[in-house]
Amino acid sequence: MNKMFLFLPLFFFLSCQQQQENQQVSNQTKVSSQVLTKENKWKNESTIKFLFLEESKIEHIDIFISQARKWEKYINLNFEFHKIDKTRTGLLTPKFWRKTILVKFDPSSSGGSSKLGNGYDDSLFIKSFMTIGTDNHIQSLKGVILHEIGHALGLKHEHQHPDTNYYEDEEQLKLICALYNIKEKEECSVNFKREERNDQNEVSQYDRFSIMHYNSIDGAKLNNGYALTSGSLNLSLSDKIFIAKIYPKKEPLTLEQIERMHEIDVEQEKIEFRESLKNEICEITESSELCGSSAPYTIVINGFAVGCFEDINTAYQFEHNFCGVD
Ligand SMILES: [Zn+2]
């Protein structure tokens, strides 16, 4: 079967890990994407403030806000967006002491990092950053933003779901972490170790298309035997169903409503995707460097790799559909 794999940049994995490690160590949390620890949940109906650093570019703020809204419409949390006022110095005003996430765009990185859920609320004065690397194709940047906001809602990585089976013992886990350039044991464990089913966790079905799933790389088979994940750049249907259940609206969304909203989202995403690729230079390169030898055909758009394919014909089809190349 022909498959297309869109992926977040490899560096994404690395930068994603560090803050979660801190978070996990300090709070002893046990969470997974579509597995979420109750203690990391924000109180339902809360207003969460995203506070952008003063040097943030307006185009990045705009993209961030539109991505945040993609989560927000499924939940009973309100998002507010603010930018630090250049004319003010020193401490943040009391408005930003609680339930505030400082957002930093980092032009030198293509990844991101975030604390988990209400972990942002652990200190009044010393705020933790969510970092968003902007050295990315816009579609990958959008994916990174959705992923980091997922963490900020309390979700952890989907490949850590209790139903995954990509490693059997500590030794194999260590080898997989090494493939992702992670050598430190705690960091490896926090980002890759399988979660358990227990009273603290809320768990939904494993979803390999979740925005919270890492891309598997050659040899890692993170994805229950698949060499690669879809590396989704958008919220999956079950991401939406799960988060709607975690933060239910006063009148909870029904499954049918969510499915209908999802269909509309998917149409919109297709349009956005085509729009962003218009007039860009599409190339197909053959290299196992990014996705491994099982999907060596990589589409590169304006210098950014955006997808890997198992066979050349699917790669051509993608190029034709999205880049208008015959
Ligand atoms: Zn992550």
Q: How far apart are CA 254 and CA 121, in angstroms?
A: 31
CA of 158 to the centre of ligand 1 (A): 9
Whether the per-residue pLDDT at 8 is higher than 50: the answer is: no
CA–chain centroid gap for 199, Å, is 25
Q: How far apart are CA 157 and CA 202, in angstroms?
A: 13
CA of 113 to the centre of ligand 1 (A): 7
Query: What pLDDT band is residue 158 in, cutting at 50, 70 and 90?
Result: confident
Angle value at C-alpha 147, between 144 and 152, nearest 5 degrees: 125
> In a 10 Å sphere around its CB, with 0-12 CB exposed, 13-18 middle and 19+ buried, how is residue 106 labelled?
middle
Average pLDDT of the chain is 79
CA of 58 to the centre of ligand 1 (A): 24
In Å, how far are 15, 51, 112, 134 from 108, measured between CA atoms? 12, 20, 11, 7
Q: What pLDDT is recorded for position 19?
A: 35
Whether the per-residue pLDDT at 160 is higher than 80: the answer is: yes
> In a 10 Å sphere around its CB, with 0-12 CB exposed, 13-18 middle and 19+ buried, how is residue 78 labelled?
exposed
Which of the two residues, 70 and 190, has the higher pLDDT score? 70
CA of 155 to the centre of ligand 1 (A): 9
Average pLDDT of span 130-142: 88
CA of 147 to the centre of ligand 1 (A): 6
Whether the per-residue pLDDT at 163 is higher than 50: the answer is: yes
Whether the per-residue pLDDT at 250 is higher than 90: the answer is: yes
CA of 118 to the centre of ligand 1 (A): 16
Which of the two residues, 290 and 16, has the higher pLDDT score? 290
CA of 316 to the centre of ligand 1 (A): 31
Give the SS3 label for residue 191.
Answer: helix
* 0.90 surpassed by complex ipTM: yes
Helix (H) or strand (E) holding 279: none
In angstroms, the first-to-last Cα distance of the chain is: 23
Query: What pLDDT band is residue 27 in, cutting at 50, 70 and 90?
Result: very low
CA of 88 to the centre of ligand 1 (A): 33
Which of 101, 121, 114 minimizes the C-alpha distance to 147?
114
Whether the per-residue pLDDT at 243 is higher than 50: the answer is: yes
pLDDT digits (tens, 9 = 90+) for 190-220: 888 888 888 888 888 888 778 888 876 655 6
Which of 183, 211, 47 minimizes the C-alpha distance to 114?
211
Whether the per-residue pLDDT at 82 is higher than 90: the answer is: yes
Query: What pLDDT band is residue 24 in, cutting at 50, 70 and 90?
Result: very low
The percent of residues in the chain predicted with pLDDT above 90, rounded, is 31
Angle value at C-alpha 71, between 67 and 74, nearest 5 degrees: 145
